[in-house]
Amino acid sequence: MTEAVTRSSPTVDDLLLHHEISQFLYDEAALLVERRYDDWVELFTDDALYEVPIRVTRERGAAWEVSPTGRLFDDTKQTLAVRVARLNTEYAWAEDPPSRVRYYLSNIRVRPADQQDEYHVHYNVLIYRSRGELPEYELLSTQRTDLLRRTESGWRIARRTIIVDQSVLSVRNLSYFL
C-alpha cells in the first residue's frame, strides 16, 4: 500500500488537482460532521467499496499488518445507504443523543491511477468524538486510501480502505462513519 515518495517539483496542474481533491475531502468531512448522511452516500459511485480491515499485531517483517479477510466494515454504496437509513430512524439508540464528531485530515497525497480520471489518494484522519454531557472523549487515528473518480457530477469515491491504527479499539461503539 505504500508508494515511494518522489522529490520532483509539482507542476501547476498537479497543485490545482491536489487542491481540488483536498477541497472535495474537506467538503465530504463537513457532510459527516453536519450529519448530512444522505448527501454523503451520494458521493460514492454505484460500484463503490468501503472497507475497514481488522488491524492485527504481528512480528516485525510480517507480510501483513491488517487481516487479509477480516473486516470491521465491508460495505457497498447500497449497504452504506442501509446504514444511513437506520441512523435516520428512532431505532439508532447508539446515536441518541447524536455524537459530536470532527474529522481532521492531513498528509493528503494524490497519485494517478491506472484509469483516466481516477486517482489514488492517501491521507490520515484523526477523528474526535464526544457524547452528551460527559467530559470524556474518544480519539481514533486512521489512514485512508481512496480511489477517487472524476465524473460528470464531480468527484466520487469509487473505493475507500480505512486502516485504524489501533488493533484493539477503545471506543464505545462505531455508530459513526470512519
Residue 63 lies in a domain: yes
Query: In this predicted structure, what is the pLDDT of residue 66?
Result: 86
Position 60 scores a pLDDT of 83
- The number of folded domains in the chain is 1
DSSP 176: S
The pLDDT of residue 78 is: 98
Give the cell for residue 52.
475497514
**Residue 97 belongs to some domain of the structure:** yes
For the domain that residue 129 is a member of, what is the CATH number?
Answer: 3.10.450.50
Q: Taking phi first (over 0 means left), then psi (-120 to 50 degrees means alpha), and beta for anything else, what does residue 51 get?
A: beta
Could you tell me which residues come within 8 angstroms of residue 22 by beta carbon, excluding any fewer than 6 positions away? Answer: 105, 108
Q: How many C-beta atoms surround the C-beta of residue 32 within 10 A? A: 18
Residue 105 lies in a domain: yes
Neighbouring C-beta atoms of residue 40, cutoff 10 Å: 20
**φ/ψ of residue 73, rounded to 5:** -135, 140
Whose grid coordinates read 468531512?
29
The answer as to whether 171 is a domain residue is: no
pLDDT in tens, 43-95: 999 999 999 999 888 778 777 788 889 999 999 999 999 999 998 888 777 77
What residues are paired with 148 via a beta bridge? 119, 157
Grid coordinates given for 125: 484522519
pTM, 2 dp: 0.88
Residue 3 domain-assigned (yes or no): no
State the residue range of the domain holding 60: 12-164
- With respect to residue 28, please indicate whether it lies within any of the assigned structural domains: yes
In a domain, 142, yes or no: yes
Q: How far apart are CA 11 and CA 153, in angstroms?
A: 26
Question: Residue 169 domain-assigned?
Answer: no
Q: Which residues of the chain have pLDDT under 50?
A: none
The sign one gets for the Cα dihedral 43, 177, 158, 29 is positive
